[in-house]
Structure 1
Amino acid sequence: MLHHLVFLRAKMCEWPVYAPPPGVDSELMRRSNPENADAHIWLGRQYLKKGDFDKGASEIGWMWHQRAPELVDQKGLFIDEAGRPIRQDGRTVVLSADSGLGDTLQFVRYARALKELGARVVVECQSEFVRLIRNTAEIDEVVAVGQLSDGEDLRVPLHNLMSAFRSTTPDSIPNAVPYVRPHDEETDSWRQRVAPLPGLRVGLCWSGNLRHQRNRSRSIPVGQMSSLFELPGVSWISLQKDSDVAVPALLDWSAEFVDLAATAALVQNLDLVITVDSAVAHLAGALGRPVWLLNRLDSCWRWMEGRTDSPWYPTLTQFRQRRAGDWSDVLPEVAASLTTLTGERKKSAARPRRRSRAAVPAVA
Structure 2
Amino acid sequence: MDDLLARAIDLHARGELDAAAALYLQIIRAEPQHFDALHMLGVYSFQTGDLATAHRLITQALRVRPDAAAAHVHLSAVLQKQGRLQEALLAIQQALHLEPDNALALNNGATLLSADLKRPAEALPLLERALRLNDGDATAWNGMGYALIELRRLDEALLCLQRALQLQPGFALALYNQGNALQLQNRLEEAMRSYDAALVRQPDMVDAHFGQSACRLLAGDLQAGFQQYEWRWRKPAYQSIAQQYTQPVWLGDAPLQGKTLLVHAEQGLGDTLHMARYVPLLIAQGACVILRVQPALVPLLAAMAGMSGAAGWPGVTVIGDGEPLPSHDFRMPLMSLPLAFGTSLDTIPAGAPYVQADPARVAQWRARLGAAAGGAPRVGLAWAGNPKHDNDAARSLPLLAMRRLLNTGCDFIALQRDLSAVDRVLLAREPAIRSYAAEQTDFAETAALVAQLDLVICVDTSIAHLAGAMGKPVWLLLPYAPDWRWMLGREDSPWYPTMRLFRQQRAGDWDEVLQRVAAALVQFTPGQ
Range with bigger deviation, 248-257 or 315-324: 248-257
In 1, are the aligned partners of 2:396 and 2:459 still within 8 Å (CA)?
yes
Letter matched to residue 58 of structure 1: Q
Q: Does 1:179 align with 2:362?
A: no
Instruction: Report the equivalent of 1:120.
Output: 288
Q: Does 1:38 align with 2:187?
A: no
Range with bigger deviation, 208-217 or 180-189: 208-217
Q: Does 1:239 align with 2:415?
A: yes
SS in 2 for 1:242: coil
Deviation at 1:28, TM superposition (A): 2.0
SS in 2 for 1:182: coil
Q: Does 1:159 align with 2:335?
A: yes
% identical equivalent positions: 38
SS in 2 for 1:108: helix
Tell me the TM-score normalized by structure 2. Answer: 0.58
* Aligned with 2:223 (options 39, 44, 54): 54
Instruction: Report the equivalent of 1:130.
Output: 298
Instruction: Report the equivalent of 2:440.
Output: 257
Letter matched to residue 284 of structure 1: A
Instruction: Report the equivalent of 1:8.
Output: none
Letter matched to residue 181 of structure 2: P
Once residues 224 and 473 of structure 2 are traced to their aligned partners in structure 1, the CA distance between those partners, rounded to angstroms, is 31
Instruction: Spell out the pairing of 1:187-266 with structure 2 (5 A cutoff).
Output: 187-198=362-373, 199-232=376-409, 234-244=410-420, 245-246=423-424, 247=427, 248=430, 249-266=432-449
Q: Does 1:142 align with 2:318?
A: yes
Once residues 329 and 454 of structure 2 are traced to their aligned partners in structure 1, the CA distance between those partners, rounded to angstroms, is 42
Q: Does 1:333 align with 2:508?
A: no
Deviation at 1:152, TM superposition (A): 0.8
Which ranges of structure 2 fall in alignment gaps of 5 or more residues? 1-114, 117-145, 151-176, 183-190, 305-311
SS in 2 for 1:171: coil
Deviation at 1:150, TM superposition (A): 4.1
Once residues 488 and 353 of structure 2 are traced to their aligned partners in structure 1, the CA distance between those partners, rounded to angstroms, is 25
Letter matched to residue 214 of structure 1: N
Instruction: Report the equivalent of 1:22.
Output: 181
Deviations 1:158-196 (A, max 9, x none): 1111111111x2111101111111111001111223332
* Aligned with 2:252 (options 61, 64, 77): 77
Letter matched to residue 371 of structure 2: P
Q: Does 1:106 align with 2:274?
A: yes
In 2, are the aligned partners of 1:114 and 1:121 still within 8 Å (CA)?
yes
RMSD value, Cα: 2.4
Range with bigger deviation, 152-161 or 20-29: 20-29
Deviation at 1:75, TM superposition (A): 8.0
Once residues 318 and 481 of structure 2 are traced to their aligned partners in structure 1, the CA distance between those partners, rounded to angstroms, is 34
Once residues 186 and 75 of structure 1 are traced to their aligned partners in structure 2, the CA distance between those partners, rounded to angstroms, is 36
Once residues 299 and 476 of structure 2 are traced to their aligned partners in structure 1, the CA distance between those partners, rounded to angstroms, is 25
Once residues 54 and 148 of structure 1 are traced to their aligned partners in structure 2, the CA distance between those partners, rounded to angstroms, is 34
Which ranges of structure 1 fall in alignment gaps of 5 or more residues? 1-14, 79-85, 349-364
Letter matched to residue 230 of structure 2: G
* Aligned with 1:272 (options 455, 458, 467): 455
Instruction: Report the equivalent of 2:124.
Output: none
In 2, are the aligned partners of 1:74 and 1:160 still within 8 Å (CA)?
no
Q: Which has the higher helix share?
A: 2
In 1, are the aligned partners of 2:251 and 2:332 still within 8 Å (CA)?
no
In 1, are the aligned partners of 2:259 and 2:287 still within 8 Å (CA)?
yes
Deviation at 1:27, TM superposition (A): 2.0
Once residues 371 and 357 of structure 2 are traced to their aligned partners in structure 1, the CA distance between those partners, rounded to angstroms, is 21
In 1, are the aligned partners of 2:251 and 2:337 still within 8 Å (CA)?
no
In 1, are the aligned partners of 2:251 and 2:336 still within 8 Å (CA)?
no
Once residues 380 and 460 of structure 2 are traced to their aligned partners in structure 1, the CA distance between those partners, rounded to angstroms, is 14
SS in 2 for 1:293: strand
Letter matched to residue 211 of structure 1: K
Range with bigger deviation, 22-31 or 218-227: 22-31
Deviation at 1:197, TM superposition (A): 1.7
Deviation at 1:316, TM superposition (A): 0.5
In 2, are the aligned partners of 1:122 and 1:140 still within 8 Å (CA)?
yes
In 1, are the aligned partners of 2:478 and 2:501 still within 8 Å (CA)?
yes
Deviations 1:106-143 (A, max 9, x none): 01111110000000011110001001111123251011
Once residues 283 and 56 of structure 1 are traced to their aligned partners in structure 2, the CA distance between those partners, rounded to angstroms, is 24
Once residues 326 and 417 of structure 2 are traced to their aligned partners in structure 1, the CA distance between those partners, rounded to angstroms, is 35
Once residues 61 and 75 of structure 1 are traced to their aligned partners in structure 2, the CA distance between those partners, rounded to angstroms, is 13
Q: Does 1:306 align with 2:489?
A: yes
Deviations 1:81-125 (A, max 9, x none): xxxxx6411101011101011100001111110000000011110
Letter matched to residue 101 of structure 1: L
Once residues 350 and 378 of structure 2 are traced to their aligned partners in structure 1, the CA distance between those partners, rounded to angstroms, is 25
SS in 2 for 1:142: strand
Letter matched to residue 333 of structure 2: P
Letter matched to residue 241 of structure 1: R
In 2, are the aligned partners of 1:77 and 1:165 still within 8 Å (CA)?
yes
Deviation at 1:34, TM superposition (A): 1.9
Range with bigger deviation, 59-68 or 102-111: 59-68
Once residues 106 and 191 of structure 1 are traced to their aligned partners in structure 2, the CA distance between those partners, rounded to angstroms, is 26
In 2, are the aligned partners of 1:75 and 1:165 still within 8 Å (CA)?
no
| Change over 3 Å in CA distance of 1:173–1:21 after alignment to 2 | closer
Instruction: Report the equivalent of 1:82.
Output: none
